């Protein structure tokens, strides 16, 4: 891993199109600004990990749960929703 | 017609689906990046639930549901999401589905409203997007508590 030291207001370029700006620090937190083309997905890493874990959980529960039992619960859907 | 294998009901079985129901997720879905081709199995007897089955792996599958059925007015801000993998589509052609986690008591089912699947049905392409939109949760309850349970909660709070 490349390690760089930067001060607030300084920036890092990744390729020609991605710019990471260190906006400032506050206690243990670092505020970072990112400029990137629309087709580059920028995400907090832990959010992607949460979605991966949730998908794995869904795959493990979905196979064993009868869809029939879910269908029987459909009366409990919020009444305000479109049916 | 295409034959797809699934263990949806425990035993391995073949399900016949129309070709239009085979949807490509070019990036896979998070946690299952190795599977890019899925059958979207929608049967009237299981409405409003659908089943998303990787065509290469009968042992994995997802229960899907239209989020508008449990979140009225669900309209996530797609912001700078990159939708190019979905092919050209105006917003109206995109369908949304959420993946459900179904515990042993199905009343406790939750839906991932934070990361909906967007499906371009004419192009037969899909993508699971992760929203920056803070209004929607990773575990949104699908069902409202039954009226008696609501009362029980109220009673326990006031005592």
Q: Which of these, B77, B79, B46, lies nearest to B63 by C-alpha position?
A: B46
A35: part of which helix (H) or strand (E)? strand A29-35
Measured distance CA(B88)–CA(B93) in Å, rounded: 10
Distance from CA of B147 to the nearest CA of A (A): 10
Give the list of residues 6+ apart from residue B41 with CB closer than 8 angstroms, or none.
B4, B6, B8, B15, B17, B21, B50, B51, B52, B53
User: Which of A25 and B157 is assigned the larger pLDDT?
Assistant: A25
Interface test with A, best of B27, B32, B56, B63 (most A CBs within 10 A): B63
Query: DSSP code of B58?
Result: T
Interface test with B, best of A42, A45, A76, A82 (most B CBs within 10 A): A76
pLDDT for B57-78, tens place per residue?
A: 888 899 999 999 999 999 998 8
Per-residue burial over B44-74, b = 16 or more CB atoms within 10 Å of its CB, e = otherwise? eebebbbbbbbbebbebbbbbbbbebbbeeb
Give the list of residues 6+ apart from residue B26 with CB closer than 8 angstroms, or none.
B36, B85, B125, B127
Predicted structure pTM score: 0.83
ipTM: 0.85
CB contact B149 to A (< 8 Å): no
Mean pLDDT is lowest, of A42-51, A70-79, B130-139, for A70-79
Please report the pLDDT score of residue B155 as a whole number: 46
- Asked whether the beta carbons of residue A70 and residue B49 sit closer than 8 angstroms, the reply is yes
Contacts of A17 in chain B (CB under 8 A): none
Tens-of-pLDDT digits for all 159 residues of chain B?
A: 888 888 776 677 788 888 899 999 999 999 999 999 999 999 888 888 999 999 998 888 999 999 999 999 999 988 667 777 777 656 567 899 999 998 888 888 999 999 999 999 989 999 999 988 889 999 999 987 655 555 545 444 443
CB contact A34 to B (< 8 Å): no
Query: Count of A–B CB contacts within 8 Å?
Result: 125
Measured distance CA(B67)–CA(B117) in Å, rounded: 10
Of B7, B29, B103, the CB nearest to A55: B29
Cβ count near B16 (within 10 Å): 11
Residue with tokens 């299981």: B46
């Amino acid at each position: 891993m490349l390690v760089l030291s930067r001060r607030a207001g300084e920036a890092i370029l990744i390729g020609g199109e991605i710019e990471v700006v260190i906006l400032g620090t506050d206690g243990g937190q670092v505020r970072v600004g990112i400029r990137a083309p629309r087709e580059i997905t920028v995400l907090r890493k832990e959010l992607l990990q949460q979605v991966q874990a949730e998908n794995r959980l869904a795959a493990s529960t979905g196979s064993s749960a009868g869809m029939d039992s879910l269908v029987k619960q459909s009366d409990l859907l919020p009444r305000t929703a479109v049916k | 017609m295409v034959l797809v294998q699934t263990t949806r009901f425990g035993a391995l079985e073949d399900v016949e689906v129309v070709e239009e129901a085979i949807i490509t997720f070019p990036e896979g879905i998070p946690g299952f990046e190795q599977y890019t081709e899925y059958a979207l199995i929608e049967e009237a007897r299981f409405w409003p639930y659908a089943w998303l089955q990787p065509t290469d792996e009968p042992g994995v599958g997802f229960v899907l549901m239209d989020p508008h059925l449990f979140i009225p007015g669900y309209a996530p801000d797609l912001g700078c999401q990159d939708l190019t993998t979905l092919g050209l589509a105006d917003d109206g052609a995109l369908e949304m589905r959420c993946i459900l986690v179904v515990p042993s008591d199905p009343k406790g089912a939750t839906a991932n409203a934070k990361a909906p699947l967007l499906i371009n049905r004419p192009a037969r392409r899909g993508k699971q997007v992760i929203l920056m939109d803070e209004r929607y949760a990773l575990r949104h309850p699908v069902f409202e508590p039954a009226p008696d349970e609501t009362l029980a909660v109220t009673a326990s709070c006031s005592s």
